[in-house]
Amino acid sequence: MIKGEGWYWSPGNDIQYFSAGDGVISTPGFVQSYGGYGSVFVEDFICFDGPVADFMFDSGVISNGIVPNAIFSGFLDFPTELGWWFTTKGPNDVQPVWLSDATDQNQLPTIDSTFSGNAECQVVDVIAAETLAINYNFDTSGSRNVILRQGESFSLSGIVASPFVLSGDCGKAPRYIPTTIVSASDCIGSVNETFGFSDFIRGTSGQQTTISTNTLGCDIDVIYQISVQ
């Protein structure tokens, strides 16, 4: 399953529930039934047969039913969701301070708030927004003023990704940035920068960073501006 929640039934067993990242194996002639649970779900499938498949089944390597966390490398070669999570931490901050996520823009209005099972985790549903296979170029309104004194610094941390699986702490304080992100299309990159008082004394007026990814059609540029007031 690529996205959503689902239910699964087979004769003699109670209904089971599964979610994005899980898989289902079904051999020829096996009776089963499944569908979306509480929301639309997105799936893909592969078929294979032959003596190797028969041997795997006979030896117990594969069996009918749900396969938890069935993450296959290269399962998708295009992004279906787009998310980002950025925080800052100033000299007086005990914990990171939220700066920006997918709700912080208005060019891609289709927001999915159920991706990881909690409403704080916000991503853009690329397929529903009908923006698949095009370039995304948009501004966010996230900003923050930080007062620095000599010897002090502040940090900017963030991740931009086309996620397949997100950990349950996505979007939640105190971290905000998900601790675990699995991207089926390998579209993921991070920013970790620290700026000190001396950087601005030397006349720093802005910074630009490029996140490099190694997936065809998945190059992410993050541009942020830092200025002295």
Domain count within the chain: 2
**DSSP line for 38-56:** SS--B-------SHHHHHH
Q: Which pLDDT tens digit goes with each residue over 189-220?
A: 788 888 888 877 765 545 555 454 444 456 66
pTM exceeds 0.75 for this model: no
Q: Are residues 211 and 138 both part of a single domain?
A: yes
Residues 6+ apart with CB under 8 A from 6: 17, 18, 19, 34, 35, 36, 37, 41, 43
Residues 6+ apart with CB under 8 A from 5: 17, 18, 19, 20, 36, 37, 38, 39, 41
Indicate whether 73 belongs to any domain. Answer: no
Q: Which pLDDT tens digit goes with each residue over 175-186?
A: 999 888 877 566
Residue 60 lies in domain: 5-67
Q: Which pLDDT tens digit goes with each residue over 141-153?
A: 778 888 888 889 9
Q: Are residues 132 and 32 both part of a single domain?
A: no
AA letter at 30: F
Q: Which pLDDT tens digit goes with each residue over 73-98?
A: 444 445 567 788 999 999 999 999 99
Indicate whether 104 belongs to any domain. Answer: yes
Q: Are residues 97 and 178 both part of a single domain?
A: yes
